Amino acid sequence: MANLKLIRTRIKSVQSTQKITKAMRLVAAAKVRRAQQRVLAGRPYNDSLKRLMKDCCNNLDEATLKSMPLLVARPVKRVGLWVVSSDRGLCGSYNSQLFRKTLERIEELSKQNIEVVLVTIGSKANTFFKHSKLEKIKTYMHLPAIPTVEEAKMLAEFAVNCFTDNTIDQVEIISTKFISMLNSQVNTLKYLPVELHVQTHELSHTISPLKLFEPSIEEVLKDNLIPLYLQNVFYQVLIEASAAELAARMNAMTNASNNARDLINSLTLVYNKARQASITQEILEIVGGAEALKN
């Protein structure tokens, strides 16, 4: 009977866990749809803004472009990696894939004798690199669950400040891109300096509309388009990562619920076999006792 009681206790424990995983799966499924809509709605705007930036760069000469610090590449001695992770766990291999890619990039830069500094976004990245020897110049944790433009602007401004004051020579963002409900991809995006200039001969075979800028194309690009573009890139990165995290959590909780169901079925079968064996043993003892009394 002790074994039966132990099995019953384990079945109840697994059933309680299954209720939690099912609830988390439903919550993630409800959120991921809206996150997916934000991602799909943001991509066309991001692409259009990027094309506009390229058109503006094509209408400027090299000297003018070099006068804009955010567009000028310099010898790379120090690279800043912005690592975008999650604040919570229970999302499968979402964070582990991200950290694996980050370590590979760090090793690649180290082989080139380039110093690496980190900016961690999310509690998981902060915990993972807590004991790392790499310098961490900033840590962001517990940001809003639904990314906002204000949050993206804050991150973009910090990256720009680090680049313009020569703290770092290149900014890269390592984050997860949402592909589908079942698939995501870890990408390394070169954020600063901005690389958008397309040579004029590449567009010579196309016809493009005439664009008028007021007060001038240089001022519009420097004061408006570049800051807006950098802010929007970070916003797109955040909503892509948010959607990928929710999809990973939904899939992880689905797998956990299915595993719990299979384990409950297995334990129930073991319980029934043990119970049947116990009943059979009791019957044999009763019959044996009755036969003994007859004799």
Query: Among all residues, which ones are annotated catalytic?
Result: 91
Sign of the torsion formed by the C-alpha atoms of 50, 51, 55 and 58: positive
Residue tagged 């990027």 (tokens): 50
Detail the DSSP E strand segments found in the chain: 78-84, 115-121, 135-140, 170-180, 183-192
Our CA dihedral for 256, 239, 44, 170, rounded to 10 degrees, sits at: -120
The sheet that has 135-140: what strands, in order across it?
Answer: 135-140, 115-121, 78-84, 170-180, 183-192
Structure token pair of residue 64: 């003018």
Sequence-ordered list of residues with C-beta below 8 angstroms from that of 121, at least 6 positions apart, any chain = 82, 83, 84, 85, 140, 143, 155
CB neighbours of residue 37 within 10 Å: 12
Residue 139: strand pairing partners:
120
SS3 content of the chain, % helix, strand, coil (to 5): 65, 15, 25
Sequence-ordered list of residues with C-beta below 8 angstroms from that of 292, at least 6 positions apart, any chain = none
Cα(175)–Cα(131) distance, integer angstroms: 21
